[in-house]
Amino acid sequence: MKSYLENIDVLSPEECNLIHDDALRIISEVGLDVESEEMVSRLVEFGGSVSPSRPSVVTFSGEFIEKFVEESEDAPPPASQITTLSAGYCLKYLAPQADEPEPLTLKTIANTIHLANELSNIDRPHTFIGSPSDVPLQVNPLYCALLAWKYMKPFPQQYSVIMNPDLCDYLFEMGEVMVADKGGALSDYVGGTVFFISPLRAVGESIRIFLACWEKGLDSNFGIISSMGGSSPVTFAGAISMAVAESLLRCIIKRAYYGSRKIEFAVPRVLDMKYGFVDACRPERTLVTLAIAQISRRYKSRVDWTSISATAHRPSCESGFSRAFAAIPLLLAGGDTIEGAGHLSHDVVMSPVQMVIDNEFYGALKYIRRGFEVNEETLAFEAIKEVGPGGLFTSSMHTLEHYRTELWEPEIFARESYETWRQKGSKIDVDYATEIAVDILKTEPEPNIDSATEERLMKIIRKAEKK
């Protein structure tokens, strides 16, 4: 059984054509502002155009895009299981049983990595948990890289959030220390994730990081974080066509430099018009995700990633509902990767308690994605015949042999009757999650590197601090 419904259609064929045509108009008439003469030249050689009046804006014709899509490789079929990550890019830490979050520190980042390592349904921690407040801001990414390599499981983890191009050489040098100590290639430890500034702008600092990684033979890619009503139109159709255009443009850059034949799509978030807050988990995004997933099939691609970063400020029903708005549509559309476990206040607060609850949610999502087998054994005719009319399957050997693999086993969600729940202390998911988080955080994480390697990495960081 396929446990995803990748052919969910929310648009008519005519509407898909209109969005496709509009995306091509954006690419051919509006274009991408590229703040790098070197990249502009490369894209023009690749098939783009610039005009004397707008020398930094690269456009591509509709014919080029159609050929670009035609020469792309088909996306692989969805995996039988999703990959799950904890949250990243945080600024604050809400300790278990605390009332107010505190600024993130090196210690609480290590705690967060340790917790994510220990939770069974989180496949790996985010390589950039967030910005520690107890080290200089300018070198935050270097400290985060050290923590990623020191604690994250599985090892090695590629650290890719550089942010400041002046840090590239220091991070590359740190990566070489890891290669010398642990083996492998530099690309096992270092990459470069940069972002467009929507709408339609590749800024100079991001391009410098991208090019530094490319010249070093390391993987780099442009991401997109746009918002309906902010950096893209507030209408569904306009936001979707903008997302298609920007997604194609970033894939053109990737192919021009790396030769990648893949097309990957990003899904816009939503700008709250009352408070000016960008939210990744709202019902609007459910519709947009399904629409872009449908359109992506036209481009031999699919939507494969989402974040469950919600605006809820405490672990709550709101937090759970919001996460479902983001995760379930991606799951049904055949997406592969979900990140954000532990996020509160949308990319600002890291909560160990929320991470434990999200671990349970991830387990349920993985269970849905797994699907089930239909064969002679699972059809269970002999068991049905044996139990007969009016019987009960509880004591059947068939049930005993299969219930552990067929049925989901939650850890913190309620399973018992009301009376039993009261007798056990009337605890809810937040209570159990708090106990689990506190218990795990009592233990110390086991480092991947020894003190001598850590000191060599710190020597490079101190050099960067002085510079």
Would you state the pLDDT for residue 4? 53
Helices and strands (H and E) in the chain: how many: 17, 16
Q: What is the pLDDT of residues 139-172, one digit of tens each?
A: 999 999 999 999 999 998 899 999 899 999 999 9
Would you state the pLDDT for residue 79? 82
- Residues with Cβ within 8 Å of 106's Cβ and at least 6 positions away in sequence, in order, are 132, 134, 135, 143, 147
- Decide if domain 69-371+446-464 falls under CATH 3.40.50.880: no
- Residues with Cβ within 8 Å of 450's Cβ and at least 6 positions away in sequence, in order, are 181
d(CA 467, CA 460): 11
265 C-beta neighbours (distance < 10 Å), count: 25
pLDDT bin (cut points 50, 70, 90) of residue 5 is low
pTM above 0.75, yes or no: yes
Q: What is the pLDDT of residues 208-267, one digit of tens each?
A: 999 999 999 999 999 999 999 999 999 999 999 999 999 999 999 999 999 999 999 999
Strand partners, 277: 272
Q: What is the pLDDT of residues 378-397, one digit of tens each?
A: 999 999 999 999 999 999 99
Mean pLDDT along residues 67-73: 97
- Name the one residue in this structure whose structure tokens are 């954006």: 26
Give domain limits for the chain: 69-371+446-464, 376-406
Q: What is the pLDDT of residues 267-306, one digit of tens each?
A: 999 999 999 988 889 999 999 999 999 999 999 998 989 9
Would you state the pLDDT for residue 389? 96
Q: What is the pLDDT of residues 334-350, one digit of tens each?
A: 899 999 999 999 889 99
In this predicted structure, the answer to whether residue 131 has a pLDDT above a threshold of 60 is yes
